[in-house]
Structure 1
């Protein structure tokens, strides 16, 4: 059961309706005090907590829960329409929350996160049950078996294996949630844009209507392929075979997907001759979609974006390697003239949920570069960036020319 805590009745009704549409059992509380009373009497798998409430705010409630052995493991998602500053978000995680979402809430994203944390919580409970059962069984064996050391070793091995399996599943669910909530947005946005353009501008003109419909279909097909690959990728046991892939075609597809935004911002994109590599095409497409998308997003005011994509064959797997026609690696650079960043924060930009910019000024979840880094490392490559604040950024990729996928 999920507990919704909010002092505004309208918010409770809206959230409850969203969750119940997905057959999720819901309970509600209109204050921190009422929530604590209910939590002590009933068992909840997840709590959705409003931050700003009279008398006792959401942070205070979660601090109390974190100090109680019975309630400390219940996952809490904070919701806030007012406290959107970094210090409040940080405090939410410090007090024990597993997520901090600002209002207005995206219903689809909320459901994805709710279902993910419910699965994680249920699996953690399964792990506790397994541990309890094994502990009891060991006690019985101590009384009934003479060869105690062998039995304990066998059961301990089974317990470690179960722990590893459950930890891997938890990790898979988290990775899946992060990827789905971020990288499926762009194809969906493209579908929305083209359908709207067909409706408002080109419905009467048959030829152009068909053109935009075809583009919409292609975007939907790419989205379907992306979902399939992400499901495999999220399990970290992907059997998606790599194949020889012309990166020129990959970048061309990405640029085509961004053509509306490119026209709107009057951006210039220059693509040099890129190599053909043995890679997983859909994952490599994600990398360039994130990098070029960031270059189009993080632009200076009153400045037209200029983006270049270039490559060199190099001798060694190193950012500073010299060019070599007989080399086994390639160095790819994606350069822009955007807002850049301070290189003192280079380690942060590739971390999950880390962003160096104000969320209200630049939309995003702060995980695109983390996804790009994981994909490059999966291909036995390297990724870094060079930048000066307000003077643009250059992202550098090192990739092997032949298949070195790390499964």
Structure 2
């Protein structure tokens, strides 16, 4: 792994741990701050909304600034935000600290992906983005379990202080390893960044990202009751199954980068079709515990196979001003997260059983396939016209 990309991966590990570790500490946070667990769960929602709304604001505010100082500033924002999370005296200040921290999330991954792609030859750009995102996937295997264990043993505030330490390492690594002249902003500045948003292919790529993410979260949000009620697994076993899901994410992320460097849109279309098929298998055989566990692993792998291709798709479609578009794509993934959870909950309220919930995910994955096929056909039409 090139050292500058390693620095970005360390920061993405810190960001991923920040985002997800709160889920394992909700009882401790709720008890300490005197709120209900559902109220504590809104800290997850607040972070997601901070990503969605903060990403374009930060990207536009930094459009004309050199990339390296922006990345250092965003990593520093995470250090400061996590420090305030650790010392927050009440629920609402913790919520404010979480939202403040999330403002840098989408912009870091958006700008970071542009920087990572610029550090390697063109035929390895997707792999470079995948290496940066490897920190995010590894945070689900290492950072979140370790942070949860630390919080349970010493208190949830110590978990956030530990993330502050990792964040400081990432700031130092970016300052030391990332070249000063990397991926300088285009001469068009903010207007140039906004101009590329008029391209249909940029919006189609973001729509695919939202639908793919929604197909995951329509089911994954309710994976614990699915595995316990349908597959018959114990609560303790579910924890290990989710770690297996994280391992699948990590493997899929690397595979996705390499496949995207080879055949980008065919990788997206084939993977989304495989996801739809896997959801159908989940519906049919999810009651068999061993099959359910295997499917969760494959599920994690498939969903992250499409992440590097979709990110590089946006970067290439918005080549004249990629930073804002790449940042908005991170918001698109988070819109899909929230939308998928809402759609899954709506389906359950309408009487869809947990056993049949994967069919909702399959429908969303097939919608993503349709958009991806449309996007590819437009590519081919443009080539013919040229």
**TM-score greater than 0.5 by the shorter chain:** no
Report the TM-score range of the alignment, normalised by the length of the smaller protein. under 0.3
Structure whose residues are more often helix by fraction: 2
Larger Rg, first or second structure (1 or 2): 1
Greater RCO, 1 or 2 (C-alpha within 8 Å, sep 6+) = 2
TM-score (normalizing by structure 2): 0.23
